[in-house]
Amino acid sequence: MRTILADNLLDALTANAPLVFGHRGASADAPENTLAAFELAAQHGAHGIELDVHLTRDQQLAVIHNATVDATTNGSGAVAEVSLAQLKELDAGSWFAPEFAGERIPTLDEVFAAVGRRLFVNVEIKSAVPGIEHALAACIAQRQMEARVLVSSFDAGILRRLRPLLDVPLGFLCPFVDSAWLDAKRNQQMYAALHPWHASIDSELMRRARESGFMVNAWTVNDSARACQLKKLGVNGIITDQPVAILAALASC
Ligand code: G3P
Ligand code: MG
């Protein structure tokens, strides 16, 4: 039976750990960062999704991983140099499989509208261009998603700019966490969570993260045995391309 989760992401990350987030949606089975991939993550029983945002030339939040559209659409060029209307002309599904032809690059608002009440959303800010923090704060506030999102980035500067605009939990993406960094952040209110690359997580990292008051969410975990190790280590969230497989693994360990 499906566990009933709290409506608040931080509560759920504490009470129901580890939560499972579809990385760019259920991206092993549908084109990444599309509504199809997010819907599939929901159908597969994921608790949440992780997605990536860039700002378009006309200050819209486009959900796409790369700074250019080349790898995941039939177009080419930089997201930052085109309007949302131009992005919407592109096919973001055919590169993955013919049955996804016609998928579009969604806006963050469209994702919130489609799945925001069913899935928690980890928004990863990919570009620190001026204005993206204001666009993101406005989008989250308009959809009243404050309690259901966690905003992460590899870029500490953009998270610092977002911090005063909106009261949402922040996660710092860090391939590796060193102890000096953790000591420096102890007792600071900036981040709710660390998002380390999963292979860098061990019991010592978990101990130090807890001591410093951080939740720990791991990426990108597609191996069932590793997911079970991370569960035993006590991580709060697991970000995976394959939520259905990882959920099945976690249910049996
Ligand atoms: O947010 C976790 C993970 O998505 C970070 O790496 O390159 O897949 O966005 P990337
Ligand atoms: Mg990402």
CB 9 within 8 A of CB 169: yes
- CA 126 to ligand 1: nearest atom: 9
What DSSP string describes 5-73?
A: PPSSHHHHHHHSPSEEEEETTTTTTS-TTSHHHHHHHHHTT-SEEEEEEEE-TTS-EEE-SSSBSTTTS
Domain count along the chain:
1
Q: Measured between alpha carbons, how far is 115 from 120 in angstroms, rounded to an integer? A: 8
Flag whether 2 is in a domain: no
23 lines ligand 1 (CB under 6 A): yes
Q: Which residues of 46-78 are buried (b: 16+ CB within 10 A; e: fewer)?
A: bbbbbbbbbbbeeebbbbbbeebbeebbebeee
Which are the contacts of 178, defined by CB distance < 8 A and separation ≥ 6? none
Q: Is it true that the peptide bond before 18 is cis, omega within 30 degrees of 0?
A: yes
Angle of helix 132-142 relative to helix 108-115, nearest 10 degrees, comes to 20
- Output the pLDDT for position 6: 80
173 lines ligand 1 (CB under 6 A): yes
The residue whose CA is least distant from atom 1 of ligand 1 is 124
Residue linked to tokens 């140099």: 81
CATH number for the domain harbouring residue 96: 3.20.20.190
- Output the pLDDT for position 1: 47
Flag whether 188 is in a domain: yes
Rounded mean pLDDT, 181-197 = 82
HSE-up of residue 230 (Cα within 13 Å, Cβ side): 34
Residue 184 CA, ligand 1 centroid: distance in Å: 24
72 lines ligand 1 (CB under 6 A): no
Mean pLDDT, the chain, integer? 95
Tens of pLDDT, residue by residue over 95-117, are: 999 999 999 999 999 999 999 99
Whether the pLDDT of residue 168 is over 50: the answer is: yes
Rounded mean pLDDT, 132-157 = 97
Tens of pLDDT, residue by residue over 20-63, are: 999 999 999 999 999 999 999 999 999 999 999 999 999 999 99
Flag whether 3 is in a domain: no
- CA 124 to ligand 1: nearest atom: 1
3-state SS class at 92:
coil
Flag whether 126 is in a domain: yes
Flag whether 211 is in a domain: yes
Burial of 85 (0-12, 13-18, 19+ CB in 10 A): exposed
What pTM does this model have? 0.96
Backbone angles phi, psi at 227, to 5 degrees: -60, -40
- Output the pLDDT for position 181: 77
The residue whose CA is least distant from atom 7 of ligand 1 is 65
Residues acting as catalytic residues: 23, 65
Q: How confident is the model at residue 187 (pLDDT cuts 50, 70, 90)?
A: low
Secondary structure E strands in the chain: 19-23, 48-55, 61-63, 120-125, 149-153, 170-174, 193-196, 215-218, 237-240
Residue linked to tokens 């709710």: 192
Q: Which domain holds residue 116?
A: 9-251
Flag whether 4 is in a domain: no
Flag whether 98 is in a domain: yes
Flag whether 158 is in a domain: yes
CA angle at 176 for the pair 62 and 132, rounded to the nearest 5°: 20
Q: How confident is the model at residue 2 (pLDDT cuts 50, 70, 90)?
A: low
Dihedral over Cα of 160, 161, 167, 168: its sign? negative
Both tokens assigned to 108: 């963050």
Whether the pLDDT of residue 248 is over 60: the answer is: yes
